[in-house]
Amino acid sequence: MHAGPDPARVGLQFLSVAYRVRQAVDQHMAAAGLSLSRTKTLRLLAERGTLHQAELAEALGQAPRSVTQALEALERLDLIARTTDPQDRRRKIVTPTGKGRAALTAGEQRLRQLFGSLDGRQLAALDRLLTTIDVATGSTD
């Protein structure tokens, strides 16, 4: 017999909380012109700097065509700029714009508010737990 909390009950509670967090964050991100996938793209560019489009697709674990469509939308919103690589004119270089960096900051603000309510020890523990669950799902993020 399993001692302690029921994994199914905890899992349902997690899904319920995750849903509410996602709603709150999505509303905040939408106000900045972002979605979760757009935020992931901008975050990656902010962390790694300018990337070739193919490198970005690989880092995101997405098909190049899917990333091209997402980048076209980000470019229309002036959140990124794509330029031709001077060494290889077939390749595109992707860079966040000032507006893109500002949108990322605004979009992440709600996450910082929500998860900033945890102290450092709690945040580290949550990070470990989420990583364990992520690995169990077979995620490649």
The 10 Å CB-count burial string (b at 16+, else e) for 66-99 is ebeebbeebeebebbbeeeeeeeeeebbbebbee
What is the pLDDT, as a whole number, of residue 129?
Answer: 94
Per-residue pLDDT tens over the stretch 53-71:
999 999 999 998 889 888 9
pLDDT in tens, 42-57: 999 999 988 999 999 9
User: How much is the mean pLDDT over the chain?
Assistant: 89
DSSP-assigned letters across all residues of 79-132: SEEEEEETTEEEEEEEEE-HHHHHHHHHHHHHHHHHHTTS-HHHHHHHHHHHHH
Confidence class for position 1, pLDDT limits 50, 70, 90: low
pLDDT tens for 26-45 read 888 887 778 888 888 999 99
